[in-house]
Amino acid sequence: MQYFNHHTHTIFCDGNAEPEEYVKKALELNFHTLGFSGHAPVPFENKFSIKDEKLEEYTDTVRRLKDKYSAQINIFLSLEIDYIPGITHSFDYFIDRALLDYTIGGVHLVKNRDNNKLWFIDGSDSSVYDNGLKTLFDGNIRKAVETYWWQITEMVATQKLDIIAHIDKIGMHNRDRYFIEEEGWYKDNVWKVLKMIKETGSIIEVNTRGLYKGRSNKTFPSPFLLEQIHHLQIPITLSSDAHKPEELDGYFDDTLEMLKDIGFLELLYFRKEGWKKQNIRE
Ligand SMILES: [Zn+2]
Ligand SMILES: [Zn+2]
Protein backbone atom coordinates (compact mmCIF):
# COMPACT_ATOMS: atom_id res chain seq x y z
CA MET A 1 0.00 0.00 0.00
CA GLN A 2 1.13 3.52 -0.76
CA TYR A 3 1.49 5.25 2.60
CA PHE A 4 1.21 8.83 3.78
CA ASN A 5 1.76 10.71 7.06
CA HIS A 6 0.16 13.86 8.41
CA HIS A 7 2.01 14.07 11.74
CA THR A 8 5.72 15.03 11.65
CA HIS A 9 8.09 17.25 13.65
CA THR A 10 11.21 18.97 12.30
CA ILE A 11 14.02 21.10 13.75
CA PHE A 12 11.53 23.98 13.95
CA CYS A 13 10.24 22.27 17.10
CA ASP A 14 11.52 19.08 18.76
CA GLY A 15 12.27 17.05 15.63
CA ASN A 16 15.84 16.64 14.49
CA ALA A 17 16.06 17.24 10.73
CA GLU A 18 15.29 19.98 8.22
CA PRO A 19 11.84 19.73 6.62
CA GLU A 20 13.32 18.94 3.20
CA GLU A 21 14.97 15.79 4.62
CA TYR A 22 11.49 14.47 5.42
CA VAL A 23 10.33 15.18 1.87
CA LYS A 24 13.28 13.27 0.43
CA LYS A 25 12.64 10.32 2.73
CA ALA A 26 8.91 10.37 1.94
CA LEU A 27 9.73 10.21 -1.77
CA GLU A 28 12.09 7.31 -1.15
CA LEU A 29 9.23 5.55 0.69
CA ASN A 30 6.85 6.34 -2.21
CA PHE A 31 4.43 8.29 0.00
CA HIS A 32 1.66 10.14 -1.82
CA THR A 33 1.19 12.74 0.97
CA LEU A 34 3.30 14.37 3.66
CA GLY A 35 1.99 16.79 6.27
CA PHE A 36 4.16 18.92 8.55
CA SER A 37 2.74 19.43 12.03
CA GLY A 38 5.25 21.23 14.25
CA HIS A 39 4.17 21.87 17.84
CA ALA A 40 2.29 25.18 17.84
CA PRO A 41 3.81 27.92 20.02
CA VAL A 42 2.57 27.94 23.62
CA PRO A 43 2.66 30.96 25.94
CA PHE A 44 5.20 29.56 28.40
CA GLU A 45 8.85 28.45 28.43
CA ASN A 46 9.34 24.98 26.98
CA LYS A 47 11.68 22.85 24.91
CA PHE A 48 9.21 21.26 22.50
CA SER A 49 7.26 23.90 20.57
CA ILE A 50 8.03 26.19 17.65
CA LYS A 51 9.07 29.56 19.05
CA ASP A 52 6.43 32.18 18.38
CA GLU A 53 8.87 34.34 16.43
CA LYS A 54 9.82 31.34 14.25
CA LEU A 55 6.28 30.47 13.16
CA GLU A 56 6.38 32.49 9.92
CA GLU A 57 9.71 30.97 8.92
CA TYR A 58 8.23 27.50 9.51
CA THR A 59 5.14 28.17 7.40
CA ASP A 60 7.19 29.80 4.60
CA THR A 61 9.55 26.83 4.54
CA VAL A 62 6.74 24.29 4.24
CA ARG A 63 5.01 26.34 1.52
CA ARG A 64 8.24 26.55 -0.47
CA LEU A 65 8.62 22.77 -0.29
CA LYS A 66 4.99 22.34 -1.31
CA ASP A 67 5.70 24.26 -4.53
CA LYS A 68 9.11 22.75 -5.19
CA TYR A 69 7.88 19.15 -4.96
CA SER A 70 4.32 19.61 -6.20
CA ALA A 71 4.85 17.27 -9.16
CA GLN A 72 6.08 14.44 -6.92
CA ILE A 73 4.18 14.50 -3.64
CA ASN A 74 1.31 16.32 -1.90
CA ILE A 75 2.76 18.43 0.90
CA PHE A 76 0.55 20.11 3.48
CA LEU A 77 0.99 22.61 6.28
CA SER A 78 -0.34 21.94 9.74
CA LEU A 79 0.45 22.37 13.42
CA GLU A 80 0.01 20.00 16.33
CA ILE A 81 -1.82 22.37 18.64
CA ASP A 82 -1.82 21.87 22.40
CA TYR A 83 -5.13 22.34 24.13
CA ILE A 84 -4.91 23.66 27.69
CA PRO A 85 -8.07 25.54 28.61
CA GLY A 86 -7.41 29.12 29.70
CA ILE A 87 -3.75 28.93 28.64
CA THR A 88 -3.28 28.08 24.96
CA HIS A 89 -4.51 30.01 21.92
CA SER A 90 -7.62 28.73 20.14
CA PHE A 91 -7.17 26.57 17.05
CA ASP A 92 -8.85 29.35 15.03
CA TYR A 93 -6.04 31.69 16.03
CA PHE A 94 -3.47 29.41 14.37
CA ILE A 95 -5.68 28.56 11.39
CA ASP A 96 -5.97 32.27 10.63
CA ARG A 97 -2.40 33.22 11.45
CA ALA A 98 -0.64 30.35 9.67
CA LEU A 99 -3.30 29.48 7.05
CA LEU A 100 -3.18 25.81 7.97
CA ASP A 101 -4.42 23.11 5.61
CA TYR A 102 -5.70 21.04 8.56
CA THR A 103 -5.25 20.91 12.34
CA ILE A 104 -4.00 18.25 14.73
CA GLY A 105 -4.99 18.70 18.35
CA GLY A 106 -3.46 17.01 21.35
CA VAL A 107 -3.09 17.09 25.10
CA HIS A 108 0.46 16.74 26.44
CA LEU A 109 -0.08 18.82 29.59
CA VAL A 110 -3.00 18.23 31.92
CA LYS A 111 -4.14 21.24 33.93
CA ASN A 112 -5.21 20.60 37.49
CA ARG A 113 -8.23 22.89 37.74
CA ASP A 114 -7.75 23.33 41.49
CA ASN A 115 -4.24 24.81 41.34
CA ASN A 116 -3.73 25.53 37.58
CA LYS A 117 -0.51 23.51 37.60
CA LEU A 118 0.43 21.46 34.55
CA TRP A 119 1.13 17.72 34.55
CA PHE A 120 3.41 16.65 31.67
CA ILE A 121 2.31 13.18 30.56
CA ASP A 122 4.53 12.75 27.47
CA GLY A 123 8.29 12.49 26.93
CA SER A 124 10.70 9.66 27.58
CA ASP A 125 10.94 9.90 31.37
CA SER A 126 8.18 8.15 33.30
CA SER A 127 9.40 9.62 36.60
CA VAL A 128 8.06 13.01 35.37
CA TYR A 129 4.64 11.36 35.06
CA ASP A 130 4.92 9.68 38.44
CA ASN A 131 6.11 12.83 40.23
CA GLY A 132 3.43 15.00 38.62
CA LEU A 133 0.74 12.57 39.67
CA LYS A 134 2.05 12.62 43.22
CA THR A 135 2.67 16.34 43.63
CA LEU A 136 -0.08 17.86 41.45
CA PHE A 137 -2.89 15.38 42.07
CA ASP A 138 -1.93 13.93 45.48
CA GLY A 139 -1.48 10.59 43.74
CA ASN A 140 -5.17 10.43 42.92
CA ILE A 141 -4.90 8.61 39.58
CA ARG A 142 -8.62 8.63 38.88
CA LYS A 143 -8.88 12.39 39.35
CA ALA A 144 -5.76 12.96 37.21
CA VAL A 145 -6.87 10.69 34.39
CA GLU A 146 -10.43 12.02 34.40
CA THR A 147 -9.01 15.55 34.13
CA TYR A 148 -7.08 14.41 31.04
CA TRP A 149 -10.24 13.05 29.43
CA TRP A 150 -12.15 16.18 30.41
CA GLN A 151 -9.52 18.26 28.59
CA ILE A 152 -9.81 16.04 25.50
CA THR A 153 -13.60 16.38 25.64
CA GLU A 154 -13.35 20.18 25.87
CA MET A 155 -10.95 20.25 22.93
CA VAL A 156 -13.29 18.13 20.80
CA ALA A 157 -16.31 20.23 21.79
CA THR A 158 -14.82 23.70 21.32
CA GLN A 159 -11.98 23.63 18.76
CA LYS A 160 -11.76 23.31 14.99
CA LEU A 161 -10.13 19.95 15.15
CA ASP A 162 -9.43 17.78 12.11
CA ILE A 163 -7.24 15.07 13.67
CA ILE A 164 -7.05 14.04 17.31
CA ALA A 165 -3.47 13.11 18.17
CA HIS A 166 -2.66 10.03 20.29
CA ILE A 167 -6.02 10.17 22.07
CA ASP A 168 -5.08 7.87 24.98
CA LYS A 169 -1.51 9.08 25.53
CA ILE A 170 -2.42 9.25 29.21
CA GLY A 171 -1.78 5.50 29.32
CA MET A 172 1.79 5.59 27.98
CA HIS A 173 3.68 5.92 31.26
CA ASN A 174 0.94 4.15 33.18
CA ARG A 175 1.85 0.75 31.72
CA ASP A 176 -1.00 -0.78 33.74
CA ARG A 177 0.65 0.31 37.00
CA TYR A 178 -2.04 2.70 38.27
CA PHE A 179 -5.11 1.66 36.29
CA ILE A 180 -6.16 -0.67 33.50
CA GLU A 181 -8.26 0.49 30.59
CA GLU A 182 -10.89 -2.17 31.21
CA GLU A 183 -11.92 -0.47 34.47
CA GLY A 184 -15.49 0.87 34.39
CA TRP A 185 -14.72 4.50 35.20
CA TYR A 186 -12.00 4.63 32.53
CA LYS A 187 -14.25 3.07 29.90
CA ASP A 188 -17.03 5.55 30.75
CA ASN A 189 -14.71 8.51 30.19
CA VAL A 190 -13.51 7.12 26.86
CA TRP A 191 -16.99 6.24 25.65
CA LYS A 192 -18.29 9.74 26.36
CA VAL A 193 -15.50 11.30 24.29
CA LEU A 194 -15.87 8.83 21.43
CA LYS A 195 -19.58 9.48 21.14
CA MET A 196 -18.90 13.21 20.98
CA ILE A 197 -16.24 12.69 18.29
CA LYS A 198 -18.79 10.72 16.30
CA GLU A 199 -21.00 13.85 16.39
CA THR A 200 -18.33 16.45 15.61
CA GLY A 201 -16.72 14.48 12.77
CA SER A 202 -13.09 14.71 13.84
CA ILE A 203 -10.68 12.00 12.69
CA ILE A 204 -8.80 9.84 15.18
CA GLU A 205 -5.18 9.15 14.31
CA VAL A 206 -3.60 5.79 14.96
CA ASN A 207 -0.20 6.87 16.26
CA THR A 208 2.69 4.39 16.15
CA ARG A 209 5.35 6.44 17.98
CA GLY A 210 5.16 4.58 21.30
CA LEU A 211 5.86 1.31 19.50
CA TYR A 212 8.99 2.26 17.57
CA LYS A 213 10.34 4.30 20.49
CA GLY A 214 9.83 1.32 22.81
CA ARG A 215 7.77 3.45 25.20
CA SER A 216 4.56 1.50 24.74
CA ASN A 217 3.57 -1.97 23.62
CA LYS A 218 0.51 -0.64 21.82
CA THR A 219 -0.61 2.07 19.44
CA PHE A 220 -2.44 5.22 20.56
CA PRO A 221 -5.36 4.55 20.62
CA SER A 222 -4.86 1.06 21.99
CA PRO A 223 -6.46 -1.91 20.21
CA PHE A 224 -9.03 -1.95 23.03
CA LEU A 225 -10.15 1.59 22.13
CA LEU A 226 -9.86 0.91 18.41
CA GLU A 227 -12.51 -1.80 18.75
CA GLN A 228 -14.91 0.83 20.09
CA ILE A 229 -13.84 3.37 17.45
CA HIS A 230 -14.56 0.77 14.79
CA HIS A 231 -17.91 -0.04 16.37
CA LEU A 232 -18.88 3.66 16.25
CA GLN A 233 -17.54 3.94 12.68
CA ILE A 234 -15.38 6.95 13.51
CA PRO A 235 -12.90 7.69 10.68
CA ILE A 236 -9.21 7.06 11.33
CA THR A 237 -5.88 7.98 9.81
CA LEU A 238 -2.43 6.47 10.34
CA SER A 239 0.58 8.51 11.46
CA SER A 240 3.95 7.92 13.03
CA ASP A 241 4.46 11.29 14.76
CA ALA A 242 7.95 11.24 13.23
CA HIS A 243 10.69 13.31 14.86
CA LYS A 244 13.30 11.97 12.40
CA PRO A 245 12.93 11.23 8.66
CA GLU A 246 13.61 7.51 9.22
CA GLU A 247 10.60 7.36 11.57
CA LEU A 248 8.16 8.35 8.81
CA ASP A 249 6.72 4.85 8.34
CA GLY A 250 7.61 3.41 11.76
CA TYR A 251 5.50 0.31 12.53
CA PHE A 252 3.08 1.08 9.69
CA ASP A 253 3.04 -2.46 8.24
CA ASP A 254 2.28 -4.17 11.57
CA THR A 255 -0.28 -1.55 12.54
CA LEU A 256 -2.07 -1.84 9.22
CA GLU A 257 -2.48 -5.59 9.78
CA MET A 258 -3.87 -4.93 13.26
CA LEU A 259 -6.37 -2.42 11.85
CA LYS A 260 -7.50 -4.92 9.22
CA ASP A 261 -7.94 -7.58 11.89
CA ILE A 262 -10.20 -5.26 13.87
CA GLY A 263 -12.25 -4.73 10.71
CA PHE A 264 -11.27 -1.30 9.47
CA LEU A 265 -11.63 -0.83 5.72
CA GLU A 266 -10.07 2.56 5.10
CA LEU A 267 -7.83 5.39 6.25
CA LEU A 268 -8.37 9.09 5.61
CA TYR A 269 -5.85 11.42 3.99
CA PHE A 270 -6.02 15.11 3.24
CA ARG A 271 -6.65 16.89 -0.03
CA LYS A 272 -7.40 20.58 -0.54
CA GLU A 273 -11.02 19.78 -1.42
CA GLY A 274 -11.47 17.59 1.67
CA TRP A 275 -10.59 14.29 3.33
CA LYS A 276 -10.36 11.24 1.05
CA LYS A 277 -10.69 7.55 1.82
CA GLN A 278 -7.99 5.05 1.04
CA ASN A 279 -8.97 1.41 0.93
CA ILE A 280 -6.51 -0.61 3.03
CA ARG A 281 -7.54 -3.99 1.69
CA GLU A 282 -6.30 -3.55 -1.88
ZN1 LIG B 1 1.81 14.89 20.45
ZN1 LIG C 1 3.49 15.01 17.61
CA 135 to ligand 2 centroid distance, Å: 26
CA 22 to ligand 2 centroid distance, Å: 15
Q: Is the pLDDT of residue 256 over 90?
A: yes
Question: What is the pLDDT at residue 23?
Answer: 98
pLDDT tens digits, one per residue of 176-185? 999 999 999 9
Question: What is the pLDDT at residue 173?
Answer: 96
Write down all domains in the chain, each with its CATH number in brackets. 4-279 (3.20.20.140)
Where does the pLDDT of residue 282 fall: very low under 50, low under 70, confident under 90, or very high at 90 and above?
Answer: confident
Question: What is the pLDDT at residue 183?
Answer: 97
Where does the pLDDT of residue 260 fall: very low under 50, low under 70, confident under 90, or very high at 90 and above?
Answer: very high
**Mean pLDDT in the chain?**
97
pTM across the whole model: 0.97
CA 282 to ligand 1 centroid distance, Å: 30
Ligand nearest to the CA of 166: 1
pLDDT tens digits, one per residue of 96-113? 999 999 999 999 999 999
CA 111 to ligand 2 centroid distance, Å: 19
CA 176 to ligand 2 centroid distance, Å: 23
Ligand nearest to the CA of 105: 1
pLDDT tens digits, one per residue of 141-176? 999 999 999 999 999 999 999 999 999 999 999 999
CA 71 to ligand 2 centroid distance, Å: 27
pLDDT tens digits, one per residue of 224-249? 999 999 999 999 999 999 999 999 99
Ligand nearest to the CA of 169: 1
CA 9 to ligand 2 centroid distance, Å: 6
Report how far residue 14's alpha carbon sits from residue 28's, in angstroms, rounded to the nearest whole number: 23
CA 2 to ligand 2 centroid distance, Å: 22
CA 46 to ligand 2 centroid distance, Å: 15
pLDDT tens digits, one per residue of 51-71? 999 999 999 999 999 999 999
Question: What is the pLDDT at residue 120?
Answer: 97
Ligand nearest to the CA of 240: 2
Question: What is the pLDDT at residue 232?
Answer: 98
End-to-end alpha carbon distance in the chain: 7
CA 72 to ligand 2 centroid distance, Å: 25
- 7-23 mean pLDDT: 98
pLDDT tens digits, one per residue of 70-92? 999 999 999 999 999 999 999 99
pLDDT tens digits, one per residue of 35-52? 999 999 999 999 999 999
CA 8 to ligand 2 centroid distance, Å: 6
CA 166 to ligand 1 centroid distance, Å: 7
CA 80 to ligand 1 centroid distance, Å: 7
CA 28 to ligand 1 centroid distance, Å: 25
CA 242 to ligand 2 centroid distance, Å: 7
CA 125 to ligand 1 centroid distance, Å: 15
Question: What is the pLDDT at residue 193?
Answer: 98
Question: What is the pLDDT at residue 107?
Answer: 98
